[in-house]
Structure formats: C-alpha cells, structure tokens
Amino acid sequence: MELVFLHGPAAVGKLTVARALVARTGFALFHNHLVVDAVYAVFEFGTEPFIRLREQMWLSVFEDAAKIGRSLVFTFAPEHTVPETFPGDTRAAVERHGGRARFVELTAPIDVQESRIAAVSRSEFGKLRDLDMLRDLRARGIWDYPPIPSELVVDTAVNAPDQSAEIIIKALGLPVL
C-alpha cells in the first residue's frame, strides 16, 4: 500500500495533480476537503470537535486502506489547526499495516497562487477563493506549520499537472496502469 501525501499551501494545484496521479496509477483519491467539508457541515472550523473528528477520520481512512492494501493519494494544506504530530501519525498509521507514506510537497510562487485562487475549479468544494482572505490568512500566519519532511518537491508553476504527476511517479517508483 502506498499513500502519496501531497501537501502545500492553497492554490498550488494539489487536487489537480492528485487527479492526474490517480488517472495514471489507479490509486484512490482521498482529498482533504472530503473530510473538511463533512465535518464543517456540523462543527465550526477550528473548534475542538472539528479538529478532533477531522484528524480521526483522516487517520482512520489511512489505516483501513493500509490494512486492505488500497493505495491512495491524499491532499493536505498544512495550517495551524492541524496538530503538528499529524504527518508522523499518518506515517505510523500506514506503516503499522505494512504500507508506505510518501510525502511530496507541491509549491508555486505566491503570485501564481494568488492568480489561481479565484479559479472556478476551486468552487467544486469549500475551497478558499477570495484573494483578500488568502492574503489576510497568510499575514496572520494561518499556514505557519513545521516543515514536513518530504521525498520530493515539485513546483507546479513550471510543471503542468500531467508533468507533475509523471515526476512524482518516476521519483517514487509508483506503478502505472
């Protein structure tokens, strides 16, 4: 079981690259907004139940996927309400059942992120689409999070989604369909 854990700030193309990876590998796609949006429907963002349930759900899916050998791609935007232990807890949940967690950082310069933030494609889920809010959250340090040790860093400003997926597949030695 392989868990490809794509992480990076808002609007670097995590979901777009994840979809390109899934199309080539057949892995399941488990992007963070599936859980974030579900929990947010009941609990306010950042509250104790929101934080606890979001992490429990993420980790439960990782662990159960590892138990049955189901590889997946996960997208994650590191931010201050996520416990700093989450990446390590993810690795432990997967490795406990013989799987491998593969961390890949996606990057893009701030001007590129800002040019992408209002894209219509971001409206499919509860994604941030307001440039002023993005700037305000960045200024308030919302995305200050300890660095996540990664096997690979891919700049999505210079690599199209399909190229980014190919880079990841080759660098991690992932199987293709």
Mean pLDDT throughout 78-92?
A: 96
Q: What is the DSSP-derived secondary structure letter of residue 159?
A: S
Domain 2-172: assigned CATH number? 3.40.50.300
Report d(CA 29, CA 3) in Å as an integer: 10
* Strand 152-155 versus strand 2-7 pairing type: unpaired
Report d(CA 21, CA 27) in Å as an integer: 8
Of the pLDDT bands very low, low, confident and very high (cuts 50, 70, 90), residue 92 is: very high
- The angle at the Cα of 98, spanning 92 to 102, to the nearest 5 degrees, equals 60
Q: Which of 70, 38, 80 is closest to 57 using CA atoms?
A: 38
Report d(CA 168, CA 174) in Å as an integer: 8
- The angle at the Cα of 41, spanning 138 to 133, to the nearest 5 degrees, equals 20
Structure confidence by residue, pLDDT tens digits, 16-47: 999 999 999 999 999 998 999 999 999 999 99
Report d(CA 56, CA 63) in Å as an integer: 10
pTM for this prediction: 0.93
Q: What is the pLDDT of residue 129?
A: 83
Q: How far is CA 115 from the centre of its chain?
A: 20
Token output for 141: 């340090």
Of the pLDDT bands very low, low, confident and very high (cuts 50, 70, 90), residue 174 is: very high
Q: What is the pLDDT of residue 167?
A: 98
Provide the mean pLDDT of the chain.
94
Of the pLDDT bands very low, low, confident and very high (cuts 50, 70, 90), residue 3 is: very high
In percent, how much of the chain has pLDDT > 70?
99
Of the pLDDT bands very low, low, confident and very high (cuts 50, 70, 90), residue 119 is: confident
Domain ranges of the chain: 2-172
